[in-house]
């Protein structure tokens, strides 16, 4: 098998820095299109969360036309079970499921399936509002990020998130360490713990 060449000149999709779409096989670039969706947000991360690797949601192929990658249906199959690898959880065990008909992910740690999270949250691949602040824990109602993201369940009702999670968020509600947010661990008083 031939290894995938991710250079822009040899790769019909993606960009010079990433083989994943912002351009899909049909030359779409809109994130509302299934082939593009949230690829770049997941791979590159944001100011609020770390980036992911392709292998967390896909079996990375040995070549472009390897079975399960770009084959008969021109879709790279989503294998959500890869998300569970090395994830130390307690209380709630994620059960990630991808629906190819609704382009949605449910039961994923990264979108709320953890203790005091919104375990019923369903993130839709091509609808960015399903991953906004307050969808993974808390509610999307509220005027500040702290109000939106205040977890339910047994979590104390305290909007000063930085008191306990100062290694991740500051007093104004801004994530200050994206690598420690949505990483499979609860950063409590500077110590990473399993959820």
| 0.75 exceeded by pTM | yes
The pLDDT mean for the chain works out to 81
pLDDT tops 70 at residue 156? yes
The helix (H) or strand (E) run that includes residue 164 is helix 161-165
- How far is CA 45 from each of CA 51, 63, 116, 149, 176, rounded to the nearest angstrom? 4, 25, 23, 19, 13
Confidence of residue 88 (pLDDT cuts 50, 70, 90): low
Cβ atoms of 36 and 22 within 8 Å: the answer is yes
Confidence of residue 10 (pLDDT cuts 50, 70, 90): very low
Query: For the residues 99-128, what does the mean pLDDT come to?
Result: 90
Confidence of residue 74 (pLDDT cuts 50, 70, 90): low
- Nearest alpha carbon to residue 150 among 173, 131, 122: 173
Q: Mark 24-53 as b/e (b = at least 16 C-beta within 10 Å).
A: beeebeebeeebbbbbbebbebeebbbebe
């Amino acid at each position: 098998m031939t290894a995938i060449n991710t250079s822009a000149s040899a790769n019909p999709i993606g960009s010079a820095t990433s083989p994943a779409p912002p351009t899909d096989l049909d030359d779409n670039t809109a994130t509302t299109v299934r082939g593009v969706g949230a690829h770049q947000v997941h791979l590159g991360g944001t100011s609020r969360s770390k980036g992911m690797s392709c292998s967390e949601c896909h079996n990375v192929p040995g070549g472009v036309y390897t079975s399960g990658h770009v084959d008969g249906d021109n879709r790279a199959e989503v294998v959500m079970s890869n998300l569970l690898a090395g994830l130390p959880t307690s209380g709630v065990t994620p059960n990630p499921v991808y629906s190819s008909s609704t382009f949605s992910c449910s039961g994923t740690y990264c979108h709320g399936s953890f203790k005091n999270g919104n375990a019923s949250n369903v993130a839709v691949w091509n609808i960015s509002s399903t991953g906004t602040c307050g969808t993974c824990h808390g509610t999307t109602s509220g005027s500040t990020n702290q109000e939106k993201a205040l977890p339910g369940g047994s979590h104390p009702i305290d909007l000063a998130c930085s008191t306990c999670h100062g290694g991740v968020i500051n007093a104004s509600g801004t994530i200050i360490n994206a690598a420690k947010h949505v990483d499979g661990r609860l950063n409590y008083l500077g110590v990473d713990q399993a959820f």
